[in-house]
Each structure stands twice: as structure tokens, then as C-alpha cells.
Structure 1
Amino acid sequence: MNFEYGGIIGLIILALDIWAFVNILQSGASTGSKVLWILLILFLPIVGFIIWLLAGPRKA
């Protein structure tokens, strides 16, 4: 049963990360900044998402 919850949680994290990627790409930030934010979320999916949510670039 724990495996099922882990899969659902993983899908939620994946969906949130994809949402963050879209918002980063649509933001007015520089290209270098966008790349750094995306790399942070790729390598640290949960922590990177939380940091982006608190301090990341917003849509233009």
C-alpha cells in the first residue's frame, strides 16, 4: 500500500515541477537565470521547487 502512495506523491511532485518549468520559461528573467532555476529543480525536485516558489522569477 505504501508503494501506491509513493507513486501518487511522485506524480504530484512531477506535475508541480513541470508547472514550475513552464512558469520559469515564461518569466522575464535572463536566460542564464532560467537555466539555473531549471537545473536546481531538476537536481533537487522538492527543495528546488520550494525555493523557486518562495524566491523564483515570476511571469513577465
Structure 2
Amino acid sequence: MFQNVLGFVLLQLCALAAAAPVTAQGQNPWQGGVGGGVVGFIVLVLDIIVWIEVIQSNRPVSHKVLWCVLVFLFPIIGIIAYWLFSNREEHNRRSGYETITGN
């Protein structure tokens, strides 16, 4: 499970690196921005949170794969769709447990 999450993280990092702006010859590449910047990093962190939540859920494997692919291919739209339409409370593994209180 951890290897799958690590694979997604590495793919997202490669995508951010590939999205780095191309600078003109003679310019310092660090002045042109860094592949995605702060917004890209925030989206990456949110993607990782969604992937971990999906992988730890009690959904069927096919649904897990579909959600992970959706979030991977369309990071921002996928995150919004997941948070709005995924019925997270029903599929949360911990939702079936009640806390034990002392008498």
C-alpha cells in the first residue's frame, strides 16, 4: 500500500518538474519559477491526502483505482469532485466504530 502511494507521489513530482517554465538563453533558470511553485505544492499535498484517504477506505478496489486515476489525471477537478461526491463518511473505515467511554 505504501509503495502505491509513493509511486503516485513520484509521478506527481515528475509532472511538476516537467511543467517547469522554459527560460530564454542567458537567463538564470531559478528566476523563472520552479515547476508549479507554491500552488503546485499545495495541490500535490492535497492529492496525497486524497490518495491516502481513498486507499485506506473500505471501497471496492475498482472504485479506489477510479478515484486515484481521476485525481492523478485532473488534480484540482479530481480533488473537488472527490470531496463533493465521494460519500466519504460512508466509506471511512473508522466510521463503524463508536468510542468506548468509562462508566
* Short-chain TM bin: 0.7 to 0.9
Q: Distance in 2 between matches of 1:13 and 1:26?
A: 20
Structure with bigger helix share is: 1
Once the 2 structures are TM-superposed, how far is the Cα of residue 57 of structure 1 from its aligned partner?
Answer: 4.9
Percent identity of paired positions between Structure 1 and Structure 2: 36
Deviating 4+ runs (over 6 angstroms): none
Correspondence for 2:57 among 27, 33, 55: 27
TM-score between the two structures when normalised by the length of structure 2? 0.52
Question: Where does the alignment leave 5 or more consecutive residues of structure 1 unmatched?
Answer: none
CA separation of 1:48 and 1:41: change in aligned 2, threshold 3 A: same
Q: Distance in 2 between matches of 1:56 and 1:32?
A: 14
TM-score between the two structures when normalised by the length of structure 1? 0.86
Deviations 1:16-54 (A, max 9, x none): 000000000011110000000000000000000000011
Q: How many residues align?
A: 59
Q: Distance in 1 between matches of 2:43 and 2:64?
A: 20
Question: Where does the alignment leave 5 or more consecutive residues of structure 2 unmatched?
Answer: 1-30, 94-103
Task: Quote the RMSD (CA, aligned, Å).
Answer: 1.8
Q: Distance in 2 between matches of 1:53 and 1:12?
A: 16
Match of 2:71 in 1: 41
